[in-house]
Structure 1
Amino acid sequence: MSRYFMFFYIFFSQLIITSPYTLVGRSGHTASYMDDKIYFLGGYTEKYFSGTNDFFYLDVSKPFNLDSTLPISDLSNDSRYVNAHGNGVSTICDPNKDTIFLICGVSEKQFYYRFINNKEWDMIPSTNDGIQWTSTVCNKNGTYIYLYGSGSVNNGKYMMNIINTTKTHWYLESYDSNIVPKYLASAILLPDGRIAYIGERINDFLVNFRNIYIYDTNDGIWINMSTSGIEPSPRYSHTAVLTQDDLIIIYGGINKGSPVPDQISVLDTKVNPFNWFIPNIDPAPSSAPISGHTATLVGNYMIIAFGVTTYNNDPSDQIHMIDVSEENNYKWVKSFTPNNTYTIESASKSANATKSPGAAHAAIIGETTCVIATVIIIISVSYLLYRRKRTVIYAPQAKHAINC
């Protein structure tokens, strides 16, 4: 019996590979969407104002409601060797698009990490110190990461680093000495391989959205485009996502410490020049963040996580969602249904996008595991009943068998 119990203990312990995680308010964290999970890492908390290395994910392969327990699992044991940090940048890259790259540049120290094979964080050697990166983008092939920022290595000017992800060590693959010497905001990779930087700094912090700088990864050329439409009000600490319809949605941001009046604006990149407009949407909940948050697009949902709220400077431990399925009518929602989960490339080709292969694979594995577990439980119960019956009817023989 002891051996039988040990078998089941080992079997089920292998099934339980993650543990629940109690959400803690944070800001300045990163969010990376991969394999139907949004991975959150780091950030500033009320207890650790110099940064953390917390690592956990939200499972978006299953439905959930924001008012109930969220499907979140803790992976912090995997990130115990990652330096505590805040305001890092991350991207999903490499040719298989299955590796999280984290880049943190603080004061004189530079940290490069990658989360490989969904198992462990690996520190990547680099000699490029003293840069604060503001954005990072992976190209369509997953072979290059485009880092934009400034630091002492370039006399404080802003620069572009192009990193080859296929190399064992990270190094400066290419450097554009003609980079526009200005602060550029959030970066979005468009389907045609161009990177759109959503706004440029006009003074100490505020970002102006009239001009959009575009870097073409195909030929390494910078373009300055003047947009049309209803220009968003100046701000900083906003986020941006790209929809399946090639619309860039910006959310949040502050101006002189106060939330901006137009929290959501949309940039249509299908026209030339790009055009700004404001969609119809109810006022944001009072608990919604205005800065220090992350925004991730999953299907028709823009998932806004943590950050700092309007009425409280303490970091939030909440997640909010906006349904963006209708182009000009957005809705704050609390229920999530994992429909239309797509990659940007596939979404632009089909309006009837379905679950990604990763989600289908995960579902098959889950169903197979449940079936195996059920069969084993039935066999174990039957076996125990059989042993019990055998012990009652054939006690002498059973005793003799034990002695053997």
Structure 2
Amino acid sequence: MSRYFIFFFVFFSQLIITSPYALVGRVGHTASYMDNKIYFLGGFTEKYTQGTNDFFYLDVSKPFNLDSTLLPIVDLSNDARQIHPHYNGLSTICGPNKDTIFLICGVYRKSFTYRFTINNKEWVPGSSSIDFQWSSAVCNQNGSYIYIYGHDVNDDNKNMKNMMTIIDTTLRNPVLSDLNITNSLAPPILLPDGRIAYIGERINDLRVNFRNIYMYDTNDGTWGFMSTSGIEPSPRTSHTTVLTQDGLIIIYGGINNHNFPVPDQISVLDTKVNPFTWSIPNIDPAPSSAPFNGHTATLVENYMIIAFGYYRNTTHDAIFSDQIHMIDMSEENNYKWVKSFTPNNIYATKSENATKSPGVAHAVIIGGTTGGIATVIIIISVSYLLYRRKKTVIYAPQAKHAINC
């Protein structure tokens, strides 16, 4: 009897019982996709209006459904306590092995950078950048340089100075910091040929006009220009962009000059043709809870994963979203809002299982049955313990001074 007691004691002692991480509505966070995980950092919430250093990831290596109360989310906020609480920062995956998240935050006299390497699981502060308001950051194809673009802190838009700085990720300092740019450029996308395409040009009221595309070639350091064709998206700001594997740039969301959602929330720019051509895909109306501003968009296989941001309720109030939404873009020109996510590696696993010999199949059935019974016992025990615990919302500790990047 004592041996069985020791066995179960050791077995259950290996179980780590934790409360589920409760998502909190936020705006102005960053999202970085690396190693089958989308890492979310920062942003401001209703409780912490000056910014947070919350840090967590969504595991996209496994299937999930957005209606589930237990999404595959892991809280890493304890690993980010040294980061300034902030919002509207920039992040990009870069470095020689493309295994490092670089956080860049630039405001007058409060500029800072951090980097997080997936192997070390630690945020390391970098050198402060010059006093500029950075609006975009792009890593080149081999991970050696980050191209950050922004403008000086000046209330006079007419005399605003636009600039690009190039950071060497090995030396971790600027190698060229005086690329003056006459135009005020929109969010960028790195194309497969090494060119950075800035999707539109900001006009007088800082809304984006999408007819003209400026491009910086990271291969030879030259600028190019293209005038697009097709159905041009309406002017907007606060939208997001992603690039699909077949060369389509998708813009989603944005607000007009009255801070209301634009009517054409999603548009497609085909970069495989010359000139680049705009179109509007077929898609059902967005869910009422889908954000239009302050969100992030991340492409994972054929899914665009849209996280947090603002949405409007029935009385047109802007509400913090604590939800994740998804658009399935697997069918050309016919997109769908979906709730279920299934990564491609799941299908590969099913195919491998289907080719096993009968003997292996019987062993799998026996093992699966035994494991299933054990799993049921574990689930019942853990569920009972969780039931007795009070569910808590986890916030990362906040520093005294927060930063608007």
TM-score by length of 2: 0.79
Amino acid in structure 2 at the alignment position of 1:268: D
Distance 1:63 1:125, change over 3 A: closer
Determine the structure 2 residue equivalent to 1:258: 260
| Alignment-derived partner of residue 318 in structure 1 | 323
Residue 308 of structure 1 aligns with an amino acid whose one-letter code is Y
Report the CA distance shift for 1:190/1:176 in structure 2 as closer, same or farther (over 3 A).
farther
Would the alpha carbon gap of residues 282 and 146 (structure 1) be closer, same or farther in structure 2, given more than 3 Å must change? same
| Structure 1, gaps ≥5 residues long | 342-352, 356-369, 378-404
Name the structure, 1 or 2, with higher relative contact order (CA <8 Å, separation 6+): 2
Number of residue pairs matched? 344
1:218-237 to 2 correspondence within 5 Å?
218-237=219-238
In the alignment, which residue of structure 2 is the partner of 1:52? 52
Q: Which residue of 1 aligns with 2:162?
A: 158
Match of 2:78, SS state, is helix
Residue 358 of structure 2 corresponds to none
Superimposed CA distance per residue, residues 174-218 of structure 1 (whole angstroms, 9 cap, x where no aligned partner): 1353x4323212111000000011111111221100001101000
Q: Which residue of 2 aligns with 1:298?
A: 300
Cross-structure match for 2:194: 193
Equivalent position of 1:330 in the other structure: 335
Which residue identity does 1:316 align to in structure 2? S
3-state SS of 1:292 partner: coil
Q: Following the alignment from structure 2 to structure 1, what is the Cα–Cα distance between the partners of residues 183 and 23?
A: 37
Q: Which residue number corresponds to residue 112 of structure 1? A: 113
CA distance in 2, matches of 1:309, 1:164: 38
The verdict on how the C-alpha distance between 1:158 and 1:239 changes in structure 2, with shifts beyond 3 A counting, is same
Aligned partner of residue 283 in structure 2, secondary structure: coil
Q: State the alpha-carbon separation in 1 of the partners of residues 80 and 138 from structure 2.
A: 22
Shift of 1:123: 3.4
Q: Give, in whole Å, the separation in 1 of the partners of 2:107 and 2:320.
A: 21
State the shift of 1:274 in Å. Answer: 0.6
**Superposition pairs of residues 140-219 of structure 1, within 5 angstroms:** 140-151=141-152, 156-167=160-171, 170-177=172-179, 179-219=180-220
Once the two structures are superposed, residues 352-382 of structure 1 have per-residue CA deviations (whole angstroms, 9 ceiling, x without a partner) of x979xxxxxxxxxxxxxx99xx8xx9xxxxx
User: Could you tell me how far 1:315 is from its partner in structure 2?
Assistant: 1.3
Q: Is the 8 A contact 2:79 2:123 kept in 1?
A: no
Partner letter of residue 286 of structure 2? A
Amino acid at match of 2:264: D
Residue 257 of structure 1 and its aligned partner are, at CA, apart by 0.9
Specify the SS of the correspondent of 2:111: strand
In 2, are the aligned partners of 1:211 and 1:226 still within 8 Å (CA)?
yes
**1:267-324: CA deviations, max 9, x gaps?**
0001111110001111111110010000000011000000000333131001110000
Query: Greater CA radius of gyration, 1 or 2?
Result: 1
Deviation at 1:127, TM superposition (A): 4.2
Q: Distance in 2 between matches of 1:176 and 1:107?
A: 17
Root-mean-square deviation (CA, aligned residues, Å) is 2.8
Partners of 1:187 and 1:54 lie apart in 2 by 26
Asked if the contact 1:79–1:120 (Cα under 8 Å) also holds between the matched residues in 2, the reply is: no
Runs (4+) of structure 1 exceeding 4 A deviation are 1-13
Specify the code of the residue in structure 1 equivalent to 2:271.
T
Residue 86 of structure 2: aligned partner? 85
What are the ranges of 5 or more consecutive residues in structure 2 without an aligned counterpart? 350-366, 375-405
Change over 3 Å in CA distance of 1:92–1:226 after alignment to 2: same
2:42 counterpart of 1:42? yes
Tell me which residue corresponds to 1:64. Answer: 64
Supply the distance in 2 between the matched residues of 1:89 and 1:22 (Cα, whole angstroms): 24
Structure-2 change in CA distance of 1:5 and 1:63 (3 Å): closer
| Contact 2:42-2:55 within 8 A present in 1 as well | yes
Deviation (angstroms), 1:219: 0.6
1:110-155 deviations in Å (ceiling 9; x for gaps): 11011113443433332423211111111110111111111259x8
Give the drift of 1:4: 7.8
TM-score of the aligned structures, taking structure 1 as reference length: 0.79
